[in-house]
Structure formats: C-alpha cells, structure tokens
Amino acid sequence: MLTTLTTLLVGVVFGLALAAPPGPMNAIIAEESVLRGWTAGFRAGLGAATADFVFFVLAYVGVVAFVAEVTLLKGAMVLVGGVLMLYFAYGAATDAQTTFTASDAAEGESKGFRKAFVLALTNPYQILFWLTVGVGLLEPGTVDALSYASEALAGLLVVETGSPALLVGLFGGIGVWITGFPAALNAAKTRVDGLAPAVAYGSAAVLAGFGVYFLYDAVTTLA
C-alpha cells in the first residue's frame, strides 16, 4: 500500500515536471487565460494534455519509437510545428493589439485547445519524453530511487513502473498544472492593470522563438 501511494505521488511529480516548464504550450495557456479567462486557459491545457495521452497510447504500442527512427518523418513533423508556432505567434501579437479588456476578449472564439493539441503533437520535446522517460514509465518493474544516493536510504522510495498508480499520478499532475496555472494567471490579471497585453506579447515572443528553433532543427534534420 505504501509503495502504491509513493508511486502515485512520484507520478504526480513527473506530471508536473512534464507540464510546468516554460515553452510553447504554456505560452498558449497563458495567452488564453489572460485574454479569455480561466475556461479558455484550461481548454488550451486540456489540448496539450490530450496530446500527451495520445503519445502515451502511441508509446504503449511502439509507434513513438518508429517515428523517432524515421528521420524524414520526424523532420517533417518538426517543420510543421515550427511553421505553426510562427503563425500562432503572429496571432498572439495581433490579439495583444486588438484585445485589451475581458469583454472584448470574450467576443473572440477560443481556439486554445486546437492550437495546443496540434503544437504538442509536433513538439519534438514531448516525443522525446515519451520515447525515453515515458517508455521507462510503461515498462513493468521497480525503481529504488534513493538507493542511488546512499545505501542507507535503500527501500525508502520504491516506485513501481508500469503500474496504474504511476500513470494516474502522471496525468493527475498534468491536471493540477492545467487547472492551477490558468487560475493563477486569471487571478493576477484582475489585480494588475494591463497584464493581458503584456502576457500576449510575451507569449508571441516565446512562440516565435521556439518556431525559429524548430525550423532550424527541421532543416538540419532533413539536410
């Protein structure tokens, strides 16, 4: 029972580690949250989480490994991702110029779910996660995490890989992030005048930066 609980909590940590780092997904969540409210931000996060679930299924059946081995296919996916990021960066900058109040933002249709979902599917970092760490999480076994630090700590943090508890914790951690992150941004928006345009411009800059990097990565992969 203790091992199962430990595995669940470690899964939550893995989920947060996958969802929380700054990047294109969180840029979209931030933009949607401050311009269109918590619901729109949560939908964007749900789009990224849905892509993670798709990767989980594909990793389980071995498709992720196949994609990683086919250079042309991987390069094409990264190229598409780079183009889409630049396109969404332009959209974020346009939103910042034309939408400055919550009432104005509500008039625009939220496309955060679709944007985050498509970008996540073409994100090489998420593919790499599920190809390496993700595959390791799916393989049945046990990991004595603290034994690597000291023999005296052996047995104190045993994680069951391939267990339902680990996978539930993983997606639970992602769920905590896509719920809490938009809520925090939306709460801050009500207290800081002019936050929405600043976040939108920041999101555009992040997306543009990753878009250029993805295009460079695609060109070098396909060359």
- Cα 35 from Cα 40, distance rounded (Å): 9
Average predicted confidence (pLDDT) for the chain:
76
**Closest listed residue to residue 199, CA positions, set 87, 41, 51:** 41
Contact by Cβ (8 Å): 93, 200? yes
Residues 114-131 have a mean pLDDT of 81
Q: What is the pLDDT of residue 70?
A: 72
Residue type, 195: L
Q: What percent of the chain has pLDDT over 90?
A: 16
Number of Cβ within a 10 Å radius of residue 184: 14
pLDDT of amino acid 100: 44
What is the rounded CA–CA span in Å between residue 90 and residue 207? 9
pLDDT surpasses 60 at 102:
no
Residue 140 and residue 77 in contact, taking contact as beta carbons nearer than 8 Å: no
Would the pLDDT of 177 be above 90?
yes
Q: Most confidently modeled of 10-14, 96-100, 157-161, 175-179?
A: 175-179
Please compute Rg for the chain using Cα positions: 19
Residues 163 and 7 sit within 8 Å (Cβ to Cβ): yes
pLDDT of residue 209: 75
Cβ-contact 183, 31 below 8 angstroms: no
What does the block give as tokens for 34?
């401050």
The pLDDT confidence band at residue 104, using thresholds 50, 70 and 90, is very low
Q: 156-172: per-residue pLDDT in tens?
A: 667 787 788 888 999 99
CB 168 within 8 A of CB 53: no
Give the pTM.
0.71
* Average pLDDT rounded to a whole number, residues 12-41: 84
3-state SS, residue 144 = strand
pLDDT for residue 148 is more than 80: no
**For 59, phi and psi rounded to 5 degrees?**
-65, -35
Phi, psi (5° rounding) for residue 57?
-65, -45
Q: Are strands 141-144 and 158-161 parallel, antiparallel or unpaired?
A: antiparallel
